């Protein structure tokens, strides 16, 4: 071949290399913007028709405008070159924007839209690429899928491998906190939290049972949905409160050693999600929120709601992991400058629940029998026997003056046994509720109960060591004994009031009102009988003798009224329907 022919051949080869090189270079560096729409590598061969050994996963199944959706491209066995974009289901145009956090991936402009796609940076071996996608601010409201092309080598590649579909759930927000204005529809509907699919795809727990937060603002509701893969859970919680709503997983139906999530108003007036762990019956200790993504947190018309996804496993004192059973606890209450306060109310599931298995669980609405026994003993002690003993000591001593039996005054033979029964019943009531509660619980009720128990225990001891009736110091005992009895009675009434507030689940709090009626009745009797005896003492002996029947009628009417109030409250305790 002559020299001119060789030169022409070399020029043709050089031109051919110059045409091919840009195509090869572009794909090795990941600059594949030219394939935005079709996502087809221009390798001159057809794509694989078999199932791809790669996958695209998302951290949620629904999205809102403003969310940050985490996606992952996985390659369990092969080296991985890739190209990824998000589009409406069945479409080709890119939607949303991406961010990346590692050097092995890069952002591309697709359809003249910056950061709308992701590709590799070099043809090196990889096992996964993680990205974060944010929807467009306008929001089309349509379902979205991620589409990926995976290249194993020049002749082996898979095109438009899809992720699970994400549906738009109709809520604008998605920041860790948002505050909604008043609306005519229930807040649950606006927040897209409802009882739909309860028992089908998600585990639900509510009070009242089977209520729907999308239809009622008086529904306290939580749900747990296990997402595909079994490592991520989507939680929903909503309820009427001025500070926080919270749910927890526990090994029993009492607070202590529980894994808790709190949806609370912080010091800035925003609603945030907190992760906490309780070690007893005190304020839970806040811990790291971990791998949690906030879908929505909002407060509307004093109804607080949160939805979020997390891969945090459940951990209590005796159990760890999703595939375990736990009691679900629900609580709500106020907050002060971002700090949650003692709950206003709480309820627990009637049985243990495995959240990986969709179900509808009922709330434990019946007050435990041990609590009912405690309340009944305190009512009987301080509305009947204790009151009888005090009235006898104060007034029967005068009415039955000179009447003796077995060498003792009649009033004394009545006073001592009924007061011993009162003290014994008070101690028993204290012990059983202390054991049931497994220690100290917050609030005024236990403080008042402890004071009643201590003073009741001291009263008979002081009486046993009293000096004789003729002793010059006897008046000290008389005054001390009487004043201590009065203090015990006042504290006991206050303890009963606070106790009834804890177990009275009715909207009207009728048991508290009945107790208020008893307190008024009690005061009215003491005023009437004191006035009666003062009038009697200032009258002649004849008149005093004639008024003996009036004495009996006053005392008899008093105890008939006491029994009526007592029976009403005992019936209320027997049918109480709220766990304290």
Write the CATH number of the domain with boundaries 369-574.
1.20.120
36 or 390, higher pLDDT = 390
Contact present, 69 and 166 (Cβ < 8 Å): yes
Write out pLDDT tens, residues 4-17: 565 555 555 544 43
pLDDT at residue 442 is higher than 70? no
Write out pLDDT tens, residues 128-156: 788 888 887 665 667 888 888 888 777 78
DSSP 116-156: EEEEESSS---SEEEEEEE--SS-----EEEEEEEEEETTE
- Spatial neighbors of 39 by CB under 8 A, at least 6 apart, are 83, 85, 147, 148, 149, 159, 160
pTM for this predicted structure = 0.41
Contact present, 354 and 323 (Cβ < 8 Å): yes
Write out pLDDT tens, residues 112-126: 778 888 887 765 667
pLDDT at residue 402 is higher than 90? no
Contact present, 237 and 272 (Cβ < 8 Å): no
Phi, psi (rounded to 5 degrees) for 186: -60, 145
Contact present, 28 and 123 (Cβ < 8 Å): yes
The 3 state secondary structure assigned to 331-368 is EEEEEECCEEEEEEEEEEECCCECCCCCCEECEECCCC
Contact present, 23 and 42 (Cβ < 8 Å): yes
No. of helices (H) and no. of strands (E), the chain:
11, 27
pLDDT at res. 14: 45
48 or 352, higher pLDDT = 352
- As a whole number of angstroms, the distance between CA 539 and CA 399 comes to 15
CA 44 to chain centre: 59
Contact present, 394 and 361 (Cβ < 8 Å): no
Q: Where are the domains of the chain?
A: 52-168, 173-364, 369-574
Contact present, 200 and 358 (Cβ < 8 Å): yes
- As a whole number of angstroms, the distance between CA 109 and CA 32 comes to 10
Contact present, 49 and 158 (Cβ < 8 Å): no
Helix, strand or coil for residue 108?
A: strand
Which helix (H) or strand (E) segment holds residue 240: the answer is strand 233-240
pLDDT at res. 535: 75
Q: What is the rounded average pLDDT for all residues in the chain? A: 78
pLDDT at residue 248 is higher than 90? yes
Banded pLDDT at 444 (limits 50, 70, 90): confident
- As a whole number of angstroms, the distance between CA 257 and CA 314 comes to 12
Write out pLDDT tens, residues 282-298: 788 888 888 777 667 88
- Select 52-168's CATH number: 2.60.40.4060, 1.20.1250.20, 2.170.150.20, 3.40.630.30: 2.60.40.4060
Banded pLDDT at 87 (limits 50, 70, 90): confident
Banded pLDDT at 481 (limits 50, 70, 90): confident
The proportion of the chain whose per-residue pLDDT surpasses 90, expressed as a percent, equals 11
- For the CA atoms of 466, 468, 472, 475, the dihedral, rounded to the nearest 10 degrees, stands at 50
pLDDT at res. 11: 52
Write out pLDDT tens, residues 206-239: 988 889 998 888 899 999 999 888 888 999 999 9
Distances in Å between the Cα of 387 and the Cα atoms of 135, 378, 477, 533 are 71, 12, 20, 18
232 or 81, higher pLDDT = 232
Do the domains 173-364 and 52-168 match in fold?
A: yes
pLDDT at residue 336 is higher than 50? yes
State the CATH architecture for 173-364.
Answer: Sandwich (2.60)
The single residue listed with the structure tokens 């004394």 is 412
Banded pLDDT at 556 (limits 50, 70, 90): confident
Range with the poorest average pLDDT among 1-10, 379-388, 517-526: 1-10
Count of beta carbons in the 10 Å neighbourhood of residue 475: 10
């Amino acid at each position: 071949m002559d020299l001119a022919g060789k030169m022409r051949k070399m020029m043709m080869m050089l031109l051919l290399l110059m045409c091919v090189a840009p195509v090869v270079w572009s794909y090795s560096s990941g600059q594949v913007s030219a394939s935005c729409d079709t996502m087809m590598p221009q390798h001159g061969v057809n794509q694989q028709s078999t199932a791809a050994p790669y996958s695209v996963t998302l951290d949620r199944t629904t999205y809102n405008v403003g969310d940050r959706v985490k996606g992952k491209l996985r390659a369990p066995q092969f080296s991985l070159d890739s190209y990824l974009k998000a589009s409406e289901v069945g479409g080709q145009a890119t939607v949303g924007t991406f961010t990346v956090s590692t050097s092995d991936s890069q952002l591309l402009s697709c359809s003249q839209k910056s950061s709308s796609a992701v590709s590799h940076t070099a043809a090196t071996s990889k096992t996964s690429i993680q990205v974060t996608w944010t929807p467009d601010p306008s929001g089309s409201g349509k379902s979205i899928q991620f589409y990926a092309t995976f290249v194993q080598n020049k002749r082996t590649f898979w095109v438009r491998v899809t992720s699970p579909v994400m549906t738009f759930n109709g809520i604008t927000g998605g920041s860790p906190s948002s505050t909604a204005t008043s609306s005519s529809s229930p807040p649950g509907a606006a927040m897209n939290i409802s009882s739909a699919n309860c028992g089908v795809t998600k585990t639900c727990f509510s009070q009242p049972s089977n209520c729907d937060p999308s239809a009622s603002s008086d529904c306290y509701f939580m749900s747990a949905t296990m997402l595909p893969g079994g490592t991520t859970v989507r939680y929903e919680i909503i309820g009427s409160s001025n500070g926080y709503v919270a749910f927890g997983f526990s090994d029993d139906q009492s607070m202590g050693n529980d894994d808790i999530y709190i949806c609370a108003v912080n010091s800035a007036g925003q609603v945030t999600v907190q992760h906490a762990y309780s070690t007893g019956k005190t304020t839970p200790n806040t811990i790291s929120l971990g791998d949690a993504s906030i879908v929505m947190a909002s407060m509307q018309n004093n109804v607080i709601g949160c939805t979020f996804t997390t891969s945090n496993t459940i951990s209590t004192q005796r159990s760890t992991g999703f595939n375990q059973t736990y009691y679900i606890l629900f609580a709500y209450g106020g907050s002060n400058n971002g700090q949650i306060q003692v709950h206003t109310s709480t309820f627990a599931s009637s049985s243990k629940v495995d959240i990986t298995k969709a179900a509808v669980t009922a709330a434990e609405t019946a007050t435990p029998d041990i609590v009912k026994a405690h309340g009944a003993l305190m009512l009987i002690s301080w509305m009947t026997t204790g009151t009888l003993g005090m009235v006898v000591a104060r007034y029967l001593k005068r009415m039955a003056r000179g009447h003796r039996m077995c060498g003792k005054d009649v009033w004394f033979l009545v006073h001592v046994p009924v007061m011993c029964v009162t003290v014994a019943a008070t101690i028993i009531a204290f012990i059983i509720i202390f054991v049931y509660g497994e220690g100290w619980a917050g609030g005024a009720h236990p403080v008042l109960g402890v004071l009643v128990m201590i003073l009741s225990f001291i009263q008979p001891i002081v009486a046993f060591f009293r000096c004789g009736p003729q002793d010059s110091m006897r008046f000290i005992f008389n005054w001390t004994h009487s004043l201590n009895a009065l203090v015990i009675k006042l504290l006991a009434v206050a303890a009963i009031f606070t106790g009834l507030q804890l177990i009275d689940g009715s909207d009207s709090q009728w048991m508290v009102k009945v107790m208020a009626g008893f307190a008024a009745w009690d005061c009215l009797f003491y005023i009437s009988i004191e006035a009666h005896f003062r009038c009697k003492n200032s009258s002649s002996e004849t008149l005093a003798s004639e008024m003996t029947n009036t004495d009996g009628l006053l005392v008899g009417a008093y105890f008939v009224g006491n029994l009526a109030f007592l029976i009403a409250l005992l019936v209320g305790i027997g049918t109480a329907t709220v766990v304290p």
